[in-house]
Chains A and B, each alone.
Chain A
């Protein structure tokens, strides 16, 4: 299942939006945090986990998804949210903690909920696995269309919830795809020292489902693997474990000094920037003209800038609104 040119351009465009978004958020995040890096200060306080470098994992999958397909994501959700079609203005306002945010400011960047495109995320490692199984169960019981995607990091594959969710999805033959974004690091702990097998894809056999390792952080390769897995699920053939090799070009969280990375690792990764590589490929194949490329970039920046402007200009909800929404 190869992507059409149109699908390739869709992916490229969303990767660019995603990256420009993260770079923009990073700059804003650092406002008010210099020279003293105090996490509580600035227009975007708290933690921030950026997805620079992991864009292929989002676009290669979301290219196959409808609004009614479900994604549960992690503390590093922006690229997936963008690829899924989450309202960018409201998402940005939520990251700023404003009243116009998706949750009125109650959630912040780790708690982005957009029911219109069936997207949610959370801050606890492995917490989204069970709910993805549940969403898939719901569709099966109601005979409604849709698959569920649970995104996790390679560290989360060592959580108990992983074992239980994969087993359950397999036993009940549910339309759910478990997608591991293997960026090789769980904060300062490398995959090699934490995971008992070289690739999580190997664990799929233990759960009676196919496991596919996709090396190279390449959107097209991911598109193909995801397409197969999603089709299996839609056809009632049950779950798949996709194990995607990727890299995070930034730290685990903003403020991470990254002393644990071996010397030269980051420079090496920057050379393999998936957006630059994809751009090169598309131009070389003449699937993208230089003019189109410029248009894509201009449009992407405008979209992100508009969302940021919206967020900046929005008000905070009044403090007492904190008491609302505990119960519906």
Chain B
């Protein structure tokens, strides 16, 4: 079973894009639910995204990549 890690629609106001600034885990490591996974920055503010569940993470978008709301940036399975 694989869960998407996506940019939540309510993470920031407005429709602007964000950029991934830091991944706090390496591709393929085990992660736990609620573990801090990644930081994205939109305009000037950094936002945290935590893991939706336990499992092994597959990172789909890298640091410096631009992402938008709803984009899937990783999978946890």
Binding site for B on A (CB under 8 A): 35-37, 255-257, 259
Complex CA distance for A256 and B64, rounded to whole angstroms: 20
How would you classify the secondary structure of chain A's contact residues: helix, strand, loop or mixed?
A: loop
Are B19 and A35 in contact, CB atoms less than 8 angstroms apart? yes
- Chain B residues within 8 Å of A259, by CB: 45
- Chain B residues within 8 Å of A37, by CB: 41, 43-44
- Chain B residues within 8 Å of A35, by CB: 16-19, 42, 66
Are A36 and B19 in contact, CB atoms less than 8 angstroms apart? yes
Of all chain B residues, which has the CB nearest A254?
Answer: B44
- Chain A residues within 8 Å of B66, by CB: 35-36
Complex CA distance for A257 and B18, rounded to whole angstroms: 14
- Residue from B19, B42, B44, B66 having most chain A Cβ neighbours under 10 A: B44
Q: Mark B32-54, 1 if CB is under 8 A from A, else 0.
A: 00000000011111000000000
Complex CA distance for A328 and B44, rounded to whole angstroms: 41
Closest 8 CB pairs of A and B: A35-B17, A257-B44, A36-B19, A257-B45, A35-B66, A255-B44, A35-B19, A37-B44
- Chain A residues within 8 Å of B17, by CB: 35
Of all chain A residues, which has the CB nearest B17?
Answer: A35
Q: List 6 A-B contacts (CB under 8 A).
A: A35-B66, A36-B41, A36-B66, A37-B41, A257-B45, A259-B45
- Chain B residues within 8 Å of A255, by CB: 44
Complex CA distance for A257 and B45, rounded to whole angstroms: 6
A35-B18, A36-B19, A259-B45 known, 12 other contacts, Cβ within 8 Å = A35-B16, A35-B17, A35-B19, A35-B42, A35-B66, A36-B64, A36-B66, A37-B43, A37-B44, A255-B44, A257-B43, A257-B44
Complex CA distance for A127 and B65, rounded to whole angstroms: 41
Complex CA distance for A35 and B43, rounded to whole angstroms: 7
- Chain B residues within 8 Å of A36, by CB: 19, 41, 64, 66
Complex CA distance for A256 and B17, rounded to whole angstroms: 18
Of all chain B residues, which has the CB nearest A258?
Answer: B44
Complex CA distance for A35 and B18, rounded to whole angstroms: 6
What's the least CB distance linking B76 to chain A, in Å?
A: 26
What's the least CB distance linking A223 to chain B, in Å?
A: 36
Complex CA distance for A256 and B45, rounded to whole angstroms: 8
Of all chain A residues, which has the CB nearest B64?
Answer: A36
Are B19 and A256 in contact, CB atoms less than 8 angstroms apart? no
Complex CA distance for A259 and B13, rounded to whole angstroms: 13
- Residue from A35, A255, A256, A259 having most chain B Cβ neighbours under 10 A: A35
What's the least CB distance linking B11 to chain A, in Å?
A: 14
Complex CA distance for A55 and B64, rounded to whole angstroms: 38
Q: Mark B2-23, 1 if CB is under 8 A from A, else 0.
A: 0000000000000011110000
What's the least CB distance linking B48 to chain A, in Å?
A: 14
- Chain A residues within 8 Å of B45, by CB: 257, 259
Complex CA distance for A255 and B43, rounded to whole angstroms: 8
Complex CA distance for A119 and B44, rounded to whole angstroms: 32
What's the least CB distance linking B13 to chain A, in Å?
A: 12
What's the least CB distance linking A311 to chain B, in Å?
A: 25
Complex CA distance for A165 and B45, rounded to whole angstroms: 38
- Chain A residues within 8 Å of B18, by CB: 35
What's the least CB distance linking B15 to chain A, in Å?
A: 12
What's the least CB distance linking A154 to chain B, in Å?
A: 24
Complex CA distance for A259 and B46, rounded to whole angstroms: 12
- Chain A residues within 8 Å of B43, by CB: 37, 257
Of all chain A residues, which has the CB nearest B45?
Answer: A257
- Chain A residues within 8 Å of B16, by CB: 35
Complex CA distance for A70 and B25, rounded to whole angstroms: 56
Of all chain A residues, which has the CB nearest B19?
Answer: A36
Complex CA distance for A37 and B42, rounded to whole angstroms: 8
What's the least CB distance linking A29 to chain B, in Å?
A: 13
